[in-house]
Structure 1
Amino acid sequence: MTSQKVREQFLNFFKSKEHTIVPSAPMVMKNDPTLLFTNAGMNQFKEFFLGNTVSKSKRITDTQKCLRVSGKHNDLEEVGKDTYHHTMFEMLGNWSFGDYFKKEAIQWAWELLTEVYKIDKDSLYVSVFEGSNDADNLKMDQEALDLWSAIVPKDRIIMGNKKDNFWEMGDQGPCGPCSEIHVDIRSAEEKAKVPGASLVNQDHPLVVEIWNLVFMQYNRKANGELENLPEKHVDTGMGFERLCMVLQGVQSNYDTDVFTPLIREIETITNHKYGKDEQTDIAIRVIADHIRAVAFSIADGQLPSNTGAGYVIRRILRRAIRYGFTFLDTKKPFMYRLVKVLGESMGKAFPELKEQYQLIENVVKEEENSFLSTLEQGLVLLDSVIKSSKDKTINGHKAFELYDTFGFPIDLTSLILEEKGYDLDVEGFEKALQAQKDRSRSASETSKEDWTILLEDAEQEFIGYDSLEAKVKLVKYRKVSSKKDGDQYQSVFNLTPFYAEGGGQVGDKGYLEASNGDVTYIIDTKRENNEIIHFSENLPKDISGTFKAVVDEKQRRRTESNHTATHLLHQALREILGEHVEQKGSAVHSKYLRFDFSHFSKVTTEELREVENFVNARIEGHLPFEENRNVPVKEALAQGAMALFGEKYGDTVRTVRFGQSIELCGGTHVKNTGDIWHFKITSEGAVASGIRRIEAITSDAVKDFYFKNNRTLFEVKDLLNNSQDPVKAVTALQEENAQLKKQVEGLLKDKAKNLKSELLNELADLNEVKFLAKKVDLDAASIKDLSFEMGQNKENLFLLLASEKDGKAILSCYISKELAFERNLNAGTIVRELGKYIQGGGGGQPFFATAGGKNPAGIPEALEKVEVYLK
């Protein structure tokens, strides 16, 4: 049975049980501050489990794209080493929101597995929660035990502990006992030797969990106590890849048609055969798995980067690259060539892979080139560490610096050391890594109290499209504490004019005014689990009162102006650059807008001018705002509305139209494009391969822009003796300056050349280092050139050169790369500390950095103090 058929049969089975089939939510989370990625099928339904929203369908089924690489659910380091863990995977699920419960969930699961998929009943085991003797003091799940006992023999029912058979959303929230279904696909001979029951939950590659039936009946409070949910729910998740393994009669997920097309392509590209060598097999499995995670993430709008979700994606991609580099001899980019194969095998179920193919391929290739360059640099530095080592054990802190500062993977470091007969101080590395994690965790640590409910069963209503003021009551509130923001309060109102951050638009600010005139300032508004949450530093004194909620109108109007401009900008880019342009992200603030879009070359100055003119023509056209808040999504798309990849839309959507521009959008907008006043692009540049970014301003910001520019023009004309043609006058000055600059550069080069020989002769030997600290008569650029030239002539060089220009002091520190690494020296840190003597500061890279200050008199002391770093 093909994987496509497996997926279809699952969805159709539950459709026959009156479930509504819904599409997968994006794998990258957009409106859940607690998660970077969808890591379970239930994530998109949290609002239903929490009771914040009532689902239109009581029964739902789907296949959900999931990613587990961080936090509690972290399978990354297992991937490739075994045959059943993955980063990105599909979760087949069926859901009941206050409808059926354990009886139907258990009966239907058994029916589907044994009657539809025809899995041998004798190969299946089930587990039931046995209860707990801890603070929760939970009883055994007798109901589930009785239901399973009527279906399967007792020797196939396993009592499971809290770790395996009690599922929790997190530290707080809905939770409950669960029943897992495990399958034993070992041979008859192996089954006869060891009973399958003894291998359940023992990480055996052929006795694996296939389906988890979660019965949500409790809510975990902040203090750890459990309370009964008002309604009971069912949340099931079945591993699609594992199910395909069972139904296709193979003993590895990677032998199913989910992965075999990718593996065949990897074999062709690398000239390494799968199934011949264990280490090679691990590398191929890692690559086949990781390209799926990376490709789906990019298709959902998440590009690799150095922070947040983007960092996770970059880490996954780099893990695959280094496995190829180390074990498959791939010294050139190759993973981008797998994107097409992935699209062909999974594009029918997930069309975004085909539609975003070119973008995914370009981004992956660029990332590969960048990381392969990092690996080459790291190999040189690691070699210098090995040469400078006095024994056969490499310092763990050195290995951590190589990992942390230069991005060189620790497993690659360990492997190379092993090949060369060296040991790694693993304990030292782990200690340095843990210290970094502790610092990061401490900085981001947040604690949330339980919600204090003031109004039971109150439904929240957003009225901010039509009004910026409202009489409101607090429905609930909670205190949130973090080291970053201190103590804050989050509150929910029965109705609110405050727009919650979403769709790139910032959340509203404003205030609550009590009847006695007391004011509580709302500093931000966000959405969590479909509730609009208002942030404030304190609560009103009388929380049971009625308040006037007022949105900061000035900020809202400016934000609306920028948001509408992004729609017109999107239309302009597609009109002028081509219909391949698609929005890849936006940030709409009150002061400016940022718009990311797919395009594979720099936007020319002429094209930018055309874009500006296009947008401003629509502004001058005074196009009216037209919206429809409840349009069936298919109808809206048929009308030509633009939908964004990576966004999840409901059955009905809101459409926003200005002339020929029509988009699906939940943000706020001006009533007429004339309200924008004017649109001005301030910058254009690359974000990643195939992704460009435009930043722009509108309205009051444009007025300020032109006012400042006009004032500057008059100041320039005044400096040019009120020349009638300032451009011509400046051009003449530039030409004259260029000639003089050329002459000065020639003189400086001659001066630096003579100085270089002089300084090389002055180098002193200090602790096996070529050392010099001296004041020179050169500018900062010439000092940098001179330092690097000297570095080419001398190894183990440490320079501190100082100069004085226009009453300002400059310190420049150069350290040979190998020396910086071996001695744990950092030029940036050194100049920052020496900068205090010249009453300034600075920074740079570990091997070259510069500081500037306003006290040239401090230069001699700085030159004197630098020696301490080598002693």
Structure 2
Amino acid sequence: MTSQDVRKQFLDFFESKGHLVVPSAPIVLKDDPTLMFNNSGMAQFKEYFLGNASPKSNRVADTQKCLRVSGKHNDLEDVGFDTYHHTMFEMLGNWSFGDPARPEVGYFKKEAINWAWELLTEVYKIPKENIYVSVFEGSVEENVPFDQEAWDIWKELIDENRIILGNKKDNFWEMGDQGPCGPCSEIHVDLRTAEEKALVSGKSLVNNDHPQVVEIWNNVFMEFNRKADGSLEKLPAKHVDTGMGFERLCMALQGKTSNYDTDVFTPLINKVEHITGYKYFDNSVIPSAVDEKTNIAIRVIVDHVRAVAFAIADGQLPSNTGAGYVIRRILRRAIRYGFTFLNKKEPFVNQLVAVLANQMGDYFPEIKLQEAFVTNVIREEEASFLRTLDQGLQLLDNVVSKTRGTEVSGAKAFELYDTFGFPKDLTALILKEKGMSFNESEFDESMQTQKSRSRAASEVSTEDWAILIAGNVETFVGYDQKENEVKITRIRKIDSKKDGVLYQIVLDNTPFYPEGGGQVGDKGTLVSANETIEIIDTKKENNLILHFTKNLPENLNASFIAKVNTNLLELTSRNHSATHLMHQALRSILGTHVEQKGSLVNPKYLRFDFSHFSKLTETELQQVEDFVNARIQDQLPLIERRNIPFAQAVREGAMALFGEKYGDHVRAIKFGESMELCGGIHVKNTADIWHFKIISEGAVAAGIRRIEAITSDAVKAHFASYENILDEVKTALKNPQDILKAVHSMQEENIKLSKQIEALVKDKVKNLKASLTEEIQEINGIQFLAKQVDLTPDGAKDLAYELGNLGKNLFLVLATADEEKPMLTCYISKELVVEKNLNAGQVVRELGKYIQGGGGGQPFFATAGGKNTAGILQALEKAVDFVR
């Protein structure tokens, strides 16, 4: 049974049980501040469990892309070292969202357990004697009893000696520190041989990290809500949340003893073998024949490329912060294993994307549609980090050369890790080859200090919601109204190290647009008969629109007028509409490969990130500006279509962005030929934008360019600023009639003067060469001179080469202080570089400390700049130490 068969049979089975099969949500979460990545199958359904939205079906099934690399659920360090942990994995799931008013539409323990047994034993035909199950034993401290109901259901299906009582850690599942939770029933499968089973009971190996006795399915029965004080309360409706590990299920059904021996991974492994020439040994091979370091490296690489590729396809690019740093760290871990254990010194991980797209593209079309883009991003990241590895190796050599004894400072090792992304284990490996090590406790202390600092900066405590009006479904009215009468339905206090105490307010209906789709959240006020409360931001979380304020109203039950700050919103909407026009312009001028990869829209400016692998020329930038301004001049009216079927919108030409989670019905925004799916606020007519002006263009990541631009009032201010500058230039040039002619004349005069100065400097160099030749001393057979000269840095370079032509054993250090900027220039004859192991780069780095600066260069010629001219004399005095 292929992995595609396994996936299809699961979805078909639950579809036959009345479940709606839905697509996987993106692996990267954009509207949930509590999670960086989708780390479980239930994450995309949180709003249903919390009661903040109604599902389109009370029975749902799917296969969800998940990533566990940070926080509470972190499997990264285990990946590669065992056969069943992964960063990115698929979670097959079936769900029941209970409805108190219609209990017949959902189901609970009886149906969930019986269907799980039916699928595993009758459809997948896993031998019953290989299965163990667990139920919650109860908890006195939680005041939750033993799950007798689950025990009784299982007792009808399986021998009692195969039912295990599990504690809170293993058999009580929680969404987080707060929120829905409940007991769960796990299903484990014993994949050992008959001989192994005869020696040790599988029951004793459950939940003990045995590679062949593994959990494959967890059925969670959500019936409680965890409050901020830790107590539990009953949910109004009971829900079922199940998750089955796809990779582990394939291992069981394909008769393998390792996830990596299944066809989920073997095509990738085969490709790595082909690229590197190294052989991977599966679990059937005698351990003594296995090169375990090679096996670990290949497992790491084929696991990590899946996580990185799908994250990039869903819109998360590698970067130095947040989720982007996590993705970069995963990729660098893969590169490092290839570099060290598979001898790959050039980019190669990117070549695996094509295999992945072919293998998974049918169920996850985003990886196939973005194959070229993902490949290019990974290739650029690989090339960059391989250069960093070389830098890191040089720095490590430098640290080693200055270390007395065999132990390198742990703080220095951490500096390599923190600044250059140089992995801890690679540092340890290289040092071991040199008969050295580093102080691990110092390293861990530095790491802990950084983590504590980061954690303290982002620490937030959140209280429970205080419900003022129960059962209300919040309505957003901001497309049509900018102020309206509202009531407060719930409030919550939050306390963060960054912002202090704030309050989140939810209204029965709101004109405030919550941050999303790149557009910032609205600001404004809540006004009652007696007071005005300032709304400082608006965000969305689990389908609730949260209004942030520093103070709560005195009377929470009063009626208020919610007023959006329309001045700010109008400026924002102009910038938002301009991003749509610019997106159209870029695709028309550069090609349809251009796709939006991120944006920021606020009242001051717009920022637009897009896929493109070369810098835009001045001509191309001007074409983009002209294209957008032409649409503004055309006065195109906004055509807004709400609540249209997603498939219909795409069929009619609407742009849908990768990594966004769209519902069955969407909102489409159209200006002329530009049509995109968008939930943001826009102008009624492109004429309202007034004018569009690009301020900057540059690279932000491999294969990603960024344009920043302004519209409307900001353009007027921009032009006014340039007019003022022009007036100042005219005044400085004594108000010529033709300012351009005056500038050209000044440039020509400057060229003439520069040539005259250059000739004078050459004469000065010749004169200095003659006088300095007499000052050269011989020390240990080396011609030595250290001298301050009255030249520019370029003049000092010319003088150094002139003096260098006099012989083959010159060691020269010249100092200059042109315009009070100290500079050291070091020249060493190439013969001395070879024979005496002298290096000009090392010389200037050491002497540069005296002028509070640094530099570098080639072994025979290098320079260092600084800011302390008073240190020149000491630097020159110390230069002689290198030849003594």
TM (norm. structure 1) is 0.89
Match of residue 7 from structure 1 = 7
1:683 aligned partner: 696
SS of the counterpart of 1:440?
helix
CA apart distance, 1:387: 2.9
Q: 2:47 maps to which residue? A: 47
DSSP 3-state at the match of 1:447 = strand
Which of 382, 386, 392 is 2:400 aligned to? 386
> Contact 2:182/2:223 (CA < 8 Å) preserved in 1?
yes
Paired residue for 2:747? 734
Task: Say yes or no: does 1:571 pair with 2:613.
Answer: no
Q: 1:509 aligned to 2:534?
A: no
Give CA deviations for 1:434-492 in whole Å, capped at 9, x if unaligned. Answer: 11111111111111111111111122111111111111121111111111111111111
Q: CA RMSD in A?
A: 3.7
Does the 8 A contact of 1:459 with 1:494 survive in 2? yes
* Pick aligned residue for 1:349 from 334, 341, 363: 363
Amino acid at match of 2:339: F
Q: 1:146 aligns with which of 134, 148, 152?
A: 152
Unmatched runs of 5 consecutive residues or more in structure 2: 99-105, 282-289, 778-783, 804-810, 827-837, 857-861, 878-884
Native 8 Å contact 1:800 1:863 kept in 2: no
Does residue 167 of the first structure (1) align with residue 173 of the second (2)? Answer: yes
In the alignment, which of 88, 103, 106 is matched to residue 110 of structure 2? 103
Separation in structure 1 between the aligned mates of residue 145 and residue 864 of structure 2, nearest angstrom:
64
Aligned positions of 1:128-527 closer than 5 A: 128-134=135-141, 136-275=142-281, 276-516=290-530, 518-527=531-540
CA distance in structure 1 between the aligned counterparts of 2:678 and 2:298, rounded to whole angstroms? 42
Secondary structure of residue in 2 paired with 1:491: strand
**What is the Cα deviation at residue 380 of structure 1?**
1.8
Aligned match of 2:685: 672
Given the superposition, is the C-alpha separation of residues 827 and 360 from structure 1 closer, same or farther in structure 2, using an over 3 Å criterion? farther
Partner residue of 1:120 out of 124, 127, 137: 127
Q: Show the 5 A alignment for 1:610-621.
A: 610-621=623-634
Deviation digits for residues 474-518 of structure 1 (CA, Å, limit 9, x no counterpart): 1111111111111111111111111000001111111122212x2
**Contact conserved, 1:25 with 1:64, CA < 8 A, in 2?**
yes
CA–CA distance in structure 2, aligned partners of residues 603 and 289 of structure 1:
36
- Asked whether the equivalents of residues 850 and 874 of structure 2 are also in contact (C-alpha less than 8 Å), the reply is no
Secondary structure, aligned partner of 1:227 = strand
Paired position in structure 2 for 1:56: 56
CA distance in 1, matches of 2:610, 2:44: 26
Contact 2:796 2:814 in 1 (8 A): no
Q: 1:47 to 1:848 in 2, by over 3 A?
A: farther
Distance 1:456 1:784 in 2: 79
CA distance in structure 1 between the partners assigned to 2:540 and 2:814 by the alignment: 53
Contact 1:827 1:844 in 2 (8 A): no
Q: Which has the larger radius of gyration?
A: 2
CA distance in 2, matches of 1:519, 1:863: 67
DSSP 3-state at the match of 2:604: coil
Identity of aligned residues (%): 63
CA contact (8 A) 1:31 1:502 kept: yes
Give, in angstroms, the shift of residue 268 of structure 1. Answer: 0.6
Residue aligning to 1:766: none
Could you list the per-position Cα deviations for residues 686-726 of structure 1 after superposition, in whole angstroms to 9, with x for gaps in the alignment? 22332221111111111111111222223323333333433
User: 2-side partners of 1:561 and 1:104: how far apart?
Assistant: 53
| Structure 2 counterpart of 1:589 | 602
**C-alpha contact 2:172 2:182 (8 A) present in aligned 1:** yes
* Superposed structure 1 runs of 4+ greater than 6 Å apart: 745-755, 774-787, 799-802, 811-815, 825-831, 842-845, 847-852, 861-865
Does structure 1 residue 534 correspond to structure 2 residue 547?
A: yes
In structure 2, C-alpha distance between the alignment counterparts of 1:785 and 1:160, rounded to whole Å: 80
Equivalent residues of 2:850, 2:871 under 8 A apart:
no
Aligned to 2:34: 34
CA–CA distance in structure 1, aligned partners of residues 617 and 83 of structure 2: 49
Give the aligned partner of residue 76 of structure 1.
76
The 1:748/1:32 distance shift into structure 2, 3 A limit, reads farther
Structure 2 counterpart SS, 1:415: helix
**Cα distance per residue 1:805-856 (max 9 Å; x no partner):** 4xxx7678999xx99x99xx9999999xx8xxxxxxx9999x999887xxxx
Q: Specify the SS of the correspondent of 2:551.
A: coil
Secondary structure in structure 2 of the residue aligned to 1:505 = coil
Q: For 1:416 and 1:620, how far apart are their aligned partners in 2?
A: 63
How far apart, in 2, do the equivalents of 1:246 and 1:74 lie? 24
Residues 460, 496 of structure 2: 8 Å contact kept: yes
Question: Which letter maps to 2:529?
Answer: S
Q: For 2:125, give the aligned amino acid.
A: K
The Cα shift of 1:658 comes to: 1.0
In structure 1, what is the Cα distance between the partners aligned to 2:125 and 2:794? 75
Shift of 1:88: 0.6
Residue 502 to residue 850, structure 1, CA distance change in 2 (3 Å): farther
**CA separation in 2, counterparts of 1:674 and 1:151?**
70
CA contact (8 A) 1:477 1:489 kept: yes
How far is 1:399 from its partner? 1.2
Change (3 A) 1:716 1:862: same
SS at match of 1:544: coil
Q: After superposing the two structures, state which structure 1 stretch, 357-366 or 575-584, moved more.
A: 575-584
TM-score, structure 2 as length reference? 0.88
Q: What is residue 21 of structure 2 aligned with on the other side? A: 21
Query: What stretches of structure 1 of length at least 5 have no aligned partner?
Result: 764-769, 791-796, 835-841, 853-857
SS of residue paired to 2:260: helix
The Cα offsets for residues 789-819 of structure 1, whole Å up to 9 and x where unpaired, read as: 99xxxxxx9x9999584xxx7678999xx99
Stretch of structure 1 that moved more, 393-402 or 221-230:
393-402
Cα deviation 1:638-666 (Å, max 9, x = unaligned):
11111011111101001111111111100
The count of residues paired between Structure 1 and Structure 2 equals 835
Deviation at 1:367, TM superposition (A): 0.7
Q: Which amino acid aligns with 1:483?
A: K
Contact 2:134/2:165 (CA < 8 Å) preserved in 1?
A: yes
Is the aligned partner of 1:607 residue 2:651?
Answer: no
TM-superposition CA deviations, 1:302-355 (whole Å, max 9, x none): 111000111001000000000001100001111111111111111111111121
Residue 47 of structure 1 aligns with an amino acid whose one-letter code is E
